A and B are shown apart, each in its own frame.
Chain A
Amino acid sequence: MDATRVSYTLESSLASVNKAEQTAAELAAKSGFDDDECGRISMAVREATVNAVLHGNHYEPGKRVTIFFESTPQALTIAVRDEGPGVDPKAVPDPLAPENLLKQSGRGIFLIRAFMDEVRFRTMDPGTELTMIKFVRGPNSGSGKEAHQ
């Protein structure tokens, strides 16, 4: 099976967020996704990396964000790992609830779930790893699934 794997270990900075987004867009295009899907994938990766840099590592210089990309003929898989205190995705308020609609933040994980076919959170020691999968011919296109390990 043909697979392309690449990983980056990056500083906890906005430059890393832009790097992750750009790399995701390039790999998504190489994987055969159309422009709209490339935009959704790269935004999901941007949001995941923002969460890792900002909410996970709190921009701490000594903490790194590691991003793994794997492209196969079937799917593009991206994992974003931080070194923060961990996150419970179930504890994140629903940004579509009327009482949260006008809140300034809290939409990142929602967008990731909306744009990717599968989303998994894994608690690390330390940190959190968020894995996102987009199928080239997705059986679950348009309906995000999630598991928490």
Chain B
Amino acid sequence: MTMKASSRKVDGVVIVDLSGRITLGEGAVVLRDTVKEISGRGEKKILLNLGDVTYIDSSGIGELVSAFTSVRNAGGDLKLLNLTKKVHDLLQITKLYTVFDVQDSEASAIAAFSR
């Protein structure tokens, strides 16, 4: 049930590997705190790897949107990587798929930050 987050830096991009459920409560808080901490260090390029995220509810979607806007407002950029079909469908239905820059591979995502 719990959500885990770990981060690593590749070519100037902080990649956050998330796993578990991003839902109201702990999961959403872990995501919020993780992005806040990374952004607070002055990092401008953040890539959320959702490949092992098994479930997102509307609160989790809200946290993704909040992370996106807060990083953008700080002059940075936040992209998404490796969406599962469920998460992909949720972003489609909520019309957020075109708001986020969604990438399918880590290499292309890192390159996209330089464009």
Residues of A within 8 A of B (CB): 14, 17-18, 39, 43, 46-47, 50, 54, 95-96, 101-105, 107-108, 110-111, 114
* Stretch in B3-11, B33-41, B90-98, B104-112 touching the partner: B90-98
The reply to whether B93 and A111 form a contact with Cβ atoms under 8 Å apart is: yes
Q: Which residue in chain A gives the minimum CB-CB distance to B1?
A: A18
Complex: how many Å from CA A39 to CA B57? 11
In the complex, B42 has a CB within 8 A of chain A: no
- Which of chain B's residues have a CB closer than 8 A to the CB of A50? 24, 57-59
Q: Which residue in chain B gives the minimum CB-CB distance to A14?
A: B25
In the complex, B77 has a CB within 8 A of chain A: no
Residues of B within 8 A of A (CB): 1, 23-25, 57-59, 61-63, 65-66, 68-69, 86, 90, 93-96, 99
Given contacts A46-B57, A103-B65, A104-B63, 7 further A-B contacts (CB under 8 A): A47-B58, A95-B94, A96-B94, A104-B65, A104-B66, A107-B62, A111-B94
Complex: how many Å from CA A75 to CA B86? 23
Complex: how many Å from CA A88 to CA B1? 32
Complex: how many Å from CA A143 to CA B59? 24
The reply to whether A111 and B24 form a contact with Cβ atoms under 8 Å apart is: no
Determine how close the nearest CB of chain A comes to the CB of B87; give it in whole angstroms: 11
Determine how close the nearest CB of chain A comes to the CB of B66; give it in whole angstroms: 5
Q: Which residue in chain A gives the minimum CB-CB distance to B86?
A: A39
* Known pairs A39-B86, A50-B24; A101 contacts B58 (CB<8 A): no
- Which of chain A's residues have a CB closer than 8 A to the CB of B66? 104
- Which of chain B's residues have a CB closer than 8 A to the CB of A54? 24
Q: Which residue in chain B gives the minimum CB-CB distance to A109?
A: B58
The reply to whether B96 and A101 form a contact with Cβ atoms under 8 Å apart is: yes
- Which of chain A's residues have a CB closer than 8 A to the CB of B93? 111, 114
- Which of chain A's residues have a CB closer than 8 A to the CB of B90? 111
- Which of chain A's residues have a CB closer than 8 A to the CB of B63? 104
Determine how close the nearest CB of chain B comes to the CB of A23; give it in whole angstroms: 15
Complex: how many Å from CA A18 to CA B25? 11
Which of B25, B58, B62 neighbours the largest number of chain A CB atoms within 10 Å of its CB?
Answer: B58
Complex: how many Å from CA A50 to CA B25? 11
- Which of chain A's residues have a CB closer than 8 A to the CB of B94? 95-96, 107, 110-111
Partner of B58, one of A14, A18, A102, A107: A107
Determine how close the nearest CB of chain B comes to the CB of A67; give it in whole angstroms: 17
- Which of chain A's residues have a CB closer than 8 A to the CB of B24? 14, 17, 50, 54
